[in-house]
Amino acid sequence: MPRLEGGFGENMKVAVFGAGGGIGAALVESLADAPNVETVFAISRRGMNGAQCVAPVRCVDYTDDTIEAIAKSLPEIDLVICTLGVLHGDSFGPEKSRRDLSLENMQHVFHVNTFLPTLIAKQMLPKMKKNSKSVFAALSARVGSISDNRLGGWYSYRASKAALNMMIKTMAIEHARRFKNSAVIGLHPGTVDTALSKPFQSGVAKEKLFDPDFSASRLLDVVEKVGPMETGKIFAWDGQEILP
């Protein structure tokens, strides 16, 4: 990958939360190849392949209870990308009808899609660089747009991503008061060939099902282009803003 442009400097330090997932791993690999990236902190709950933990990548295991300690251990950061997300599990899937709603499943989906990225932002935003460009990005989804909801269904996933978008907007307003060169944004990666989308790929046109490396590359293109004027917004992989 060429160097990260768009106002980023040299010797960048980057943190990827959810680095063990499909998009997270692709982001780590791309960022590690950028000549102006000094260190990539690959932070994962499931652990990383040992072969991936070679400089400039530093692998860090985390749990819900260690986010604060990990943040405190990190140096000043140029870029954070949080890739956490869940759509389905062994015993549940996205709701097709209100009859499918379950408190237990809703709590789990909101925990992963909304609460954890928000708590990561709470700890990581104070670690962002102040005197040069810095970006905090969390993976959201187009289906989190209330105005774009024309099909219904997928209650918990839609609502958890909509809630994440509000958290991003609210965090961005507060963050901008002290971090004038920073942006806090959401990113929609498209439909990517990962475990999250696997059960739902049959209805996706081949050209709209993205390889993780392609999606990671396009998301980094967006990150390069954003600045303080774009803070609080949600962008798709192609750079188009997604409205609330």
pLDDT at res. 191? 84
Query: Would 117 be classed as within a structural domain?
Result: yes
CB 136 within 8 A of CB 125: yes
Model pLDDT for residues 124-138, shown as the tens digit of each residue: 999 999 999 999 999
pLDDT at res. 200? 65
Q: Hey, which residues does 60 pair with through a beta bridge?
A: 43
CB 197 within 8 A of CB 139: no
Chain centre distance of CA 99: 30
Query: Would 6 be classed as within a structural domain?
Result: no
Query: Would 150 be classed as within a structural domain?
Result: yes
Query: Would 29 be classed as within a structural domain?
Result: yes
Query: Would 2 be classed as within a structural domain?
Result: no
Query: Would 228 be classed as within a structural domain?
Result: yes
Query: Would 35 be classed as within a structural domain?
Result: yes
CATH number at residue 106: 3.40.50.720
Q: Cα dist. 124→28, 107, 222 in Å? A: 18, 24, 20
pLDDT at res. 111? 98
Model pLDDT for residues 184-234, shown as the tens digit of each residue: 999 999 888 777 766 665 666 666 678 899 999 999 999 999 999 999 999
pLDDT at res. 194? 76
pLDDT at res. 41? 97
CA distance 214 to 30: 10
Neighbours of 49 (CB within 10 A): 9
Q: What is the pTM of this model?
A: 0.94
Instruction: List per-residue pLDDT tens for the chain, 244 residues long.
Output: 789 999 999 999 999 999 999 999 999 999 999 999 999 999 998 777 766 889 999 999 999 999 999 999 999 999 999 999 999 988 889 999 999 999 999 999 999 999 999 999 999 999 999 999 999 999 999 999 999 999 999 999 999 999 999 999 999 999 999 999 999 999 999 888 777 766 665 666 666 678 899 999 999 999 999 999 999 999 999 999 999 8
Q: What are phi and psi of 44, to 5 degrees?
A: -140, 145
pLDDT at res. 206? 66
Query: Would 138 be classed as within a structural domain?
Result: yes
Q: Cα dist. 241→108, 132, 136, 185, 232 in Å? A: 28, 24, 16, 10, 11
Neighbours of 136 (CB within 10 A): 27
Count of structural domains within the chain:
1
Q: Could you list the residue range(s) of the whole structural domain that residue 200 is in? A: 12-242
